[in-house]
A and B are shown apart, each in its own frame.
Chain A
Amino acid sequence: MRGREQGPKSQQGQHGQHGRFARLRLRHKLAITFTLAAFLPAAGASTVAVRLVLSGLEQGQYDETARTLRVALNLVLGQVKDVFDDTVRLAESQALPEVIEGRAADVNDFLARQARLLPPGQVEVADASGKVVGSYWAGVGQGTSDLHVPDGAPAVRTALGFERQVTLVRIGDRLAVRAVSPVVDDDFLLRGAVVVTVPIDTGMVDRLKARLATDLVFYAGERPVASSFVGRDGRRQMGFAVPRTEIELTRRGQMAITQVSAYGRSYAVGLAPLVDGKDTRLGIIAVAIDQENVVRAKAQAWRLIIGGATGAVVFGLLLASLLSRSITIPLRDLHRGARAVGRGELGTPFVRQTGDEIGDLTEAFGHMARAIRANQETLEARMREIETLHRVGRAITSVLGFDEVLRRIVEEVTSVVRAKRGVLLLGDMDGALHIGTAVGIEHADEIARLGEDLAWRGGPVLIDDLADEVELRSSAAAAGVTGSLLAVPIEQKHRVLGMVIVNRPPGMAPFTENELRLVSTMADHVALAIQNARLYDQVQKSAEELELKVQERTYDLLLAKQKLEQTNQELERTVHELGRTQSQLLLSERLAGLGSLVAGIAHEVNSPAGAIQGAVDTLGENAAGLVRRARDLAEVPMQAEDRARLFALFEAFGPRFADAKVEAPALVRRRSKELVAEVEKLGIKDNNVSEVCKTLVEIGAAEAAPELAAIGAATGGRIGPLVGYLERYAYLLRNTQAIRTAIRRITRIVGALKSYSHLDQAKVTVTDIHEGIENTLVILQHEMKYGIVVTKKFGELPQVPVYVDELNQVWTNILVNAIQALRGKGEIVIESALLGEDVMVAITDNGPGIPPEIMNRIFDPFFTTKPKGEGTGLGLGITKQIVEKHGGRIEVTSRVGATRFMVYLPVSGPPQQAGQAGQAEQAMSGQARQEQAAAPGA
């Protein structure tokens, strides 16, 4: 309820947003729009027209006034020029100086004679002292006294300063043109002056008007002094007052143009200031142009424009209303129709009135309404069908018996398609049809025959009128069926189970395709019902069969179990053999390793053995030599005391000989030379004393020389026999020392071998990892003594429980790989560290590295890069296996110049071994022990 109440409010809100215009009816909007469309151009055009016409008029008037004013001004200046030129001409008259001097005629007479040439005003002549000597009025009418100049007046003085001048002057209330000129004789000597004053009066104004054809007014200051206006009564008007703003403009020396109403007419008036030559403002000149024509033209323009604009607007309004009507009437009809359709009156007619878009819309709307109506009808039919189907479905799924279901279906079908008769035929095994159930059927057998006839046609059959069907006519008549007929086979998996037939007698509408489809759907349901019924039977049968099958299977299972057990036993055997094979493989790999070691070890043992052999060979020689020397020594006559000293010396030096270093020959020569000098000093005179000394130095007994020399000196001056004996003695001791050294080396190798193979350590032993690595290095010593440098960077490691001999094989394999990779030259770095719970040993060589493509295969068994026969390919595989057996892991990284194997072993030792693997290992170890024990002997 609340939602409904809110609806209109929110709608109102939207209206508010759209503004008032948006809420107007379309008719009004159109009217407004069209009115605007008509009004705007009209307004624009009339504005433009008004402005153009008026500005044209005003500009024209302005221009004309300005032009006239300029012409007037130029005319006035022309008058001034004339006055000046006349004045100058008068002053330059040849006779004038004479006249002024009084030597000729009277000045006034002279002037009167010249009258024709004089300017129209007061002409006066002064002499060189400034005294006015002649005066003549050359203008129209009578001159006035205020135009006279007194003696020595400023104008006269100007002329007497040789200056010719013309200017405008203000004399009392009047304006005048005044020209002055000096009178100079041929020698440029000053003789007098001429002053001419021409008043600006009605006479001048009339002369100007005659040339300008416009009226003029002269103002002295702001007061009119001369005007050309003449009233209707023939009396001259004084002229109109000038507006203040224009007076201001002229006061600033500018021209001004304005409009003035005077004497009942309108005038465009141009005003210009009148100034004298020194920019003093004297008055104003005004030209007045009659404006009646312009005013009339303006009024006419206004009338035309306003009339035109109004007409345009009215026309626009009419057009707008007509247009909006022609658009809105069809729209209104359409709108009404649409609302009727909205109310559900689908039968509302839509008549197309116009050929425009609205007409199209109307037509489309008509189509739409009709389509809705048809759809609505179809929808209703469909609803009925669906209801029927629903009922049928419920009948099928209900617990009703098979026959009851069939009956219901036939009844529903018959009623839904409004048939008079309905029958369901069921087929038996041999294809014959018989009545399943029927509605309104009297001749059951005949109808079954009709059904068989129909079945011949295959598929659903729709017959509008049986009377048209020649083939069926007889059987139909027999069954008492006439009119329209629908026959739909009941099919399942392309097997015909039966047939549904419905019939309407003649007079009723024949069946439609829709009804055919509906009946077909029904038929499917029937098929389903039949299937259900049949399935139930099968379920019953299957339950019994299942019982039997279960028993059979139980027996089979028992058999299978036995077989499985057998297989299992075989499997166990195989596993066992596999274990043995693996052990053998491991063993053979280790043997291969050992085999390759043996050659090296043999060499290692051979060289000390050779040394012993050599030592033993020379031993005899040296012993014989010693005997000979002893005889020589015995021949030396010697006191017992000396002999005792001598042998004490021998014994003291004996042990030193064994370790004596062999000195460099140069050193030997130097030392022996020194020794010769020393010995000879002590009284030794052997003829081969230098030989003897050399021998002493060589055997490292130079220190014994003083003692020997002392003894020699006491026994006949010779030390040769003493040294000879000493030499042999020294050699003898060296031999024994060599033998001892060789034997010690052999002992060490054998010890290492023994320790390496740990023949007695097949079990987990807590040991020092470094020891194992060191032992391995000793074993591999011969492989890398030429050119491979081993660097050890051992960290602090705890004792770790390991299978010592197997771990040694790990080191061996990794090191052998490294050595082979280095090909005799390079560096191997062995690092160790304790990393958390693990001991880490890293062995790095700077060889060419492992190619990336084989990187992940190197731990595979039987993978090798070595030529056939050289390696088993098991080395690294076994290594990995051994490390993993210790609960550790092995990693490798490789690039050129740095291949690094990292072995991680848990500090806690290998995990507890269980079962056969451990035993197999034990067995293998045992075997290996026997083999290895045999190896040295071989």
Chain B
Amino acid sequence: MDVLGRVRKRRAGRTCAWPGTALHRSDLTDRAFLCLVAAVLGCIGACSDSRPEFQTLVVGRAADALTLDPALVSDSESVEVCEQVFEHLLRFRKGGLEVEPALAESWQASPSGKEWIFRLRRNVRFHDDTPFDADAVVFSFRRQHVVDEERGGASSYHDSTFRNLRRVEKIDDYTVRIVIERPSASFLPDLALFTASIVSPQAVARLGGDFGHHPVGTGPFRFVEWSPGERITLEANRTYWGAAPHIDHLVFSHIPDPRQRLVALEGGAIDVAEGLEPEDLQFVALHPELRTEKILGNNVTYLAMNTEHPPFNDLRVRRAINHAVNRQPIVKLIYQGLAQPASGPLAPTFSGAAGQAAYAYDPALARRLLAEAKYDTHLRPKLYVLATPRPFLPEPERLGRLLASHLRAVGIEVELVFKPISEFPRAIANGDHDLALGGWIGDSGEPSDFLYVLFDSDNAQRGTATNAAFFRDPRLHGLLLQADETSDTELRTGLYAETLHLIHDQAPWTPLVHAEMVVAERSRVRELDVSPAATLYFREVRIDEP
């Protein structure tokens, strides 16, 4: 463009020189002629200067969406598309986990913390021109709840969002009251989750079961087309209540092979690539037109010890295992550097988790502790491994073998049991395991999302347990309840820090790593918002002209 710009300037100078010599006799005609020439040149300039008519951003992803109905989604690919089309009452601030107003402009809690009044944004319309109002909110909550119940509460996401919910009522067209069972700090963050998306009641009524293939929300992008297995096309919602997106079209392209995605990104076929192989990110780093965006995920990968099974009821054994694990090869070999060693269940993004110390890698100390605990080296504890790769667990088998090797080094021989994701949670819930290699992704910014679910005695009931260590500690339970009902942030952070300290001390887990999320993109793609839950938001994305 620079080359062209100079050329144009030179041309303009030369053409302007002609009339002066031809018609020096008459000032008036001279001027008129110059005006004409200028007009002609102006037209030509304008014609050739137009910017590309449409800006399209293409995202390459490993998997296609399964459904686009927010009442049914649970996989991250589907969620990502839904999050562009739908909105919730609240949303997370860009890049963080604090909530900010979205479809609700303001809210207010009763002194008991059980009744919440939400004032809704006015003059918002769904993509099908249905007005957004309290009826839509009540409808959406009821629908998502009902769908959830029809499926028997299979989706843990929906369950956790709506479990505490008692009533959603319309007060007037733009005011809604939500009543919850007990006050909860996770209530507001829950309302910013995809599970609490607001759908167009009219579109649901019209489309019925087909709604999942023709989603209608209020979001910055509207659904255009879905060619299953190939791509999903969205277009900018020009009547969006906030600032309309800069790009005109947003395409989610399905390219299963990560190397293919890299090639497509390098060749310019796509603008953003998700889920590249960590090793391949080096090539992205070497490419002058590409860059990566890393975000520390709101997740944890852990080795849990079943405290109900001896010898893991012995604190010394648990601590020995903590000392036996070397996180460096895990990060470098398994995660290719795309992770941070974990010192506790919470990622350092939580203020309460900062400064948390990990057990140092010290095989000698581990052996000593085992000797103290009179560990029987003939035992063959079962290490259950979630065999299906997950964002927090890209190579479960290798990690399992690596852990086994580390444990072997201190004298613990484990038996590896690989379970696919369809069986793993049940096996864990039943307490079949002695050791378990798993992970957890938090959705909201609330520590209780981790601590309560993974450590509280409430969740240590056989058959439904999510507390893989079957860790029961009344102090912890008390602390969590207290924290959840405390609205003072500082106080709550202190309580959570205390809880973390307790967990560290009692060592029911060996926390391993917090996996990092990474997205590769063209350098001229700006303002891409990657949430800690690894969802991309394209509301403010723009593409710089080359």
What is the bound-complex CA distance between A165 and B279, given in angstroms? 8
Contact B401 A161 (CB under 8 A): no
- CB of A81 within 8 A of CB of B26, answer no
Q: Are A21 and B26 in contact (CB under 8 A)?
A: yes
Q: Is the CB of B283 within 8 A of A32?
A: no
Bound-state CA distance A346–B333 (Å) is 118
Q: Are B337 and A163 in contact (CB under 8 A)?
A: yes
Q: Is A358 an interface residue (CB 8 A)?
A: no
A166 to B281, CA, bound (A): 10
Question: With A80-B283, A275-B286 as given contacts, are A188 and B333 in contact (CB-CB < 8 Å)?
Answer: yes
A725 at the interface (CB under 8 A from B): no
Residue of A nearest to B406 (CB): A188
Q: Is B332 an interface position by the 8 A CB rule?
A: yes
23 A-B pairs with C-beta separation under 8 A: A21-B29, A32-B29, A40-B33, A43-B18, A43-B40, A47-B15, A48-B44, A62-B3, A70-B266, A74-B267, A77-B283, A77-B286, A80-B286, A84-B282, A162-B328, A162-B333, A167-B286, A182-B333, A186-B401, A187-B405, A254-B288, A273-B288, A275-B285
- Say yes or no: is A573 at the interface (Cβ < 8 Å to chain B): no
- Please tell me if the beta carbons of A43 and B37 are within 8 angstroms of each other in the complex: yes
Q: Would you give the shortest CB distance from A39 to chain B, in whole angstroms?
A: 7
A44–B15 Cα gap in the complex (Å)?
10
The verdict on A58 contacting B3 (CB below 8 Å), with A161-B332, A163-B337 known, is yes
CB of A253 within 8 A of chain B? yes
The answer to whether A47 touches B283 (Cβ under 8 A) is no
**Apart from A73-B266, A164-B336, A187-B408, what are 11 other A-B pairs with CB-CB below 8 Å?**
A32-B29, A36-B33, A40-B33, A58-B3, A58-B7, A77-B266, A81-B283, A162-B328, A166-B282, A253-B523, A275-B285
Q: Which residues of B contact A279 (CB under 8 A)?
A: 285
Residues of B within 8 A of A21 (CB): 26, 28-29
Complex partner residue of A258 from B3, B288, B289, B337, CB under 8 angstroms: B3
Complexed CA–CA distance, A190 and B328 (Å):
12
Within 8 A of A (CB), among B251-273: 263, 266-268
State the main secondary structure of chain B at its contact with A.
Answer: helix
Chain A residues whose CB sits within 8 angstroms of the CB of B333 once the complex forms: 162, 164, 182, 184, 188
Q: Are B337 and A73 in contact (CB under 8 A)?
A: no
How many angstroms from the CA of A43 to the CA of B16 in the assembled complex? 11
Contact B329 A162 (CB under 8 A): yes
In the bound assembly, the distance between CA atoms of A272 and B266 in angstroms comes to 14
Contacts of B406 in A (CB 8 A): 188
Q: Which of A242-287 contact B (CB under 8 A)?
A: 253-255, 257-259, 272-279
**Hey, which chain A residues are within 8 Å of B23, CB to CB?**
32, 36
Cβ B11 vs Cβ A51 within 8 A? yes
Contact present for A73 and B7 (CB under 8 Å): no
Closest 5 CB pairs of A and B: A162-B332, A187-B405, A277-B285, A162-B329, A44-B40
Within the assembled complex, what's the spacing in Å between the Cα atoms of A277 and B286?
5
> Do A164 and B279 have beta carbons less than 8 Å apart?
yes
Interface residues as binary, A27-49 with B (CB distance below 8 Å gives 1, 0 otherwise):
00000100010011001100110
Q: Which bucket holds chain A's interface residue count?
A: 35 or more
Contact A39 B286 (CB under 8 A): no
A48 to B39, CA, bound (A): 12
Interface size on B, as a range, is 35 or more
Look across to chain A and name the residue whose beta carbon is closest to the beta carbon of B29.
Answer: A21
In chain B, what residue has the closest Cβ to A273?
Answer: B288
For B18, B36, B267, B289, which residue has the most chain A Cβ atoms within 10 angstroms?
B289
**How close is A713's CB to chain B, nearest CB, in angstroms?**
108
**Complex CA–CA separation, A828 to B213 (angstroms):** 101
A54 x B26 contact (CB < 8 A): no
Select the residue from B18, B33, B285, B409 with max chain A CB neighbours within 10 A. B285
Set B25, B36, B268, B331: member contacting A40, Cβ < 8 A: B36
Asked if B287 is an interface residue, CB under 8 A from chain A, the answer is yes
Q: A19 an interface residue at 8 Å Cβ cutoff?
A: yes
Residues A20 and B33 in contact in the complex (CB < 8 Å), given A165-B282, A188-B401 = no
Question: Is A913 interfacial (CB-CB < 8 Å)?
Answer: no
B110 within 8 A of partner (CB): no
Is residue A893 within 8 Å, beta carbon to beta carbon, of the partner chain? no
Complex-state Cα separation, A184 to B286, whole angstroms: 26
Instruction: Tell me the complex Cα distance, A268–B474, Å.
Output: 75
Q: Mark B276-302, 1 if CB is under 8 A from A, else 0.
A: 000100110111110000000000000
Q: Are A272 and B44 in contact (CB under 8 A)?
A: no
- Contact at A47–B337, with CB atoms within 8 Å? no
CB contacts (< 8 Å) of B286 on chain A: these are 77, 80, 167-168, 275-277
B332–A19 contact, CB under 8 A?
Answer: no
Chain A residues, CB < 8 A from B4: 55, 58-59, 62
Contact check, A20 vs B3: say whether CB atoms are below 8 A apart.
Answer: no
Q: How far is the CB of A15 from chain B (nearest CB, A)?
A: 14
Chain B residues, CB < 8 A from A166: 282-283
Contacts of A50 in B (CB 8 A): 11
Residues A255 and B289 in contact in the complex (CB < 8 Å), given A21-B28, A74-B267, A80-B283: yes
Kindly supply a per-residue 1/0 record for chain A positions 487-522, scoring 1 wherever the CB is within 8 Å of any chain B CB and 0 otherwise: 000000000000000000000000000000000000
Chain B CB within 8 A of A189 CB: yes
Q: A70-B268, A161-B328 are in contact. Are A55 and B48 (CB under 8 A)?
A: yes
Q: Which of B11, B28, B285, B408 contacts A19 (CB 8 A)?
A: B28
* Minimum CB distance partner of A77 in chain B: B283
Contacts of B283 in A (CB 8 A): 77, 80-81, 166
Which residue of B has the minimal Cβ distance to A250?
B288
Which of B26, B282, B401 is most buried by chain A, counting CB atoms within 10 A of its CB? Answer: B282
Known interface pairs A55-B48, A81-B283, A257-B3. Does A20 touch B26 (Cβ–Cβ under 8 Å)? yes
CB within 8 Å for A275 and B282 given contacts A48-B44, A51-B11 = no
Give the shortest distance, in Å, between A845 (CB) and chain B (any CB).
72
Interface string of B13-29 (1 = CB under 8 A from A): 00100100011011111
Q: How far is the CA of A167 from the CA of B284 in the complex (A)?
A: 11
CA distance A51 to B7 in the complex (A): 9
Q: Are A43 and B3 in contact (CB under 8 A)?
A: no
The CA-CA distance from A189 to B331 in the complex, in Å, is 14
Query: Across the interface, do B26 and A39 meet the contact criterion of CB distance under 8 Å?
Result: no
**Interfacial chain A residues near B263, Cβ < 8 Å:** 74
CA distance A279 to B29 in the complex (A): 60
- Interface centre among B11, B285, B288, by most chain A C-beta atoms within 10 angstroms, is B288
Which has the most chain B C-beta neighbours within 10 Å: A162, A165, A182? A162
B283 nearest in chain A by CB position = A77
B29, A188: Cβ atoms closer than 8 Å: no
Whether B337 lies near A70 (C-beta < 8 A) is no
A308 CB to nearest B CB, Å: 15
Q: B41 at interface (Cβ–Cβ under 8 A)?
A: yes
Kindly identify, within residues 436 to 484 of chain A, every residue whose CB is under 8 Å from any CB belonging to chain B.
none
- Which of A66, A84, A162 makes the CB contact (< 8 A) with B279? A84
Query: In the bound complex, what is the Cα–Cα distance between A805 and B25 (angstroms)?
Result: 111
Contacts of A77 in B (CB 8 A): 266, 283, 286-287
Asked if B543 is at the interface (CB within 8 A of a chain A CB), the reply is no
Q: Which of B11, B44, B332 contacts A163 (CB 8 A)?
A: B332
User: Shortest beta-carbon distance, A213 to chain B, in Å?
Assistant: 18
Q: Looking across the interface, which residue of chain A has its beta carbon closest to that of B37?
A: A43
Closest to B22 in A: A39
Q: How far is the CA of A276 from the CA of B336 in the complex (A)?
A: 17
- Across-interface contacts of B329 in A (CB, < 8 A): 162, 184, 188, 190
Please, which residue of chain B has its CB at the minimum distance from the CB of A257?
A: B3
B528 cross-chain contacts in A, Cβ below 8 A = none
Q: Which residues of B contact A39 (CB under 8 A)?
A: 22
A629 to B426, CA, bound (A): 151
- Contacting pair B402 A188 (CB below 8 A): yes
Of all chain B residues, the one with the shortest Cβ separation from A168 is B286
Asked if A73 meets B282 with Cβ closer than 8 Å, knowing A40-B33, A47-B40, the reply is no
Q: Do the beta carbons of A47 and B405 come within 8 Å of each other?
A: no
List, in ascending order, chain B residues with CB within 8 A of A186's CB. 401, 405
Q: B residues within 8 A CB of A278?
A: 285
A188 to B3, CA, bound (A): 56
Measured in the bound complex, the distance between the Cα atoms of B267 and A62 in whole Å is 17
The answer for the CA separation of A48 and B41 in the assembled complex, in Å, is 8
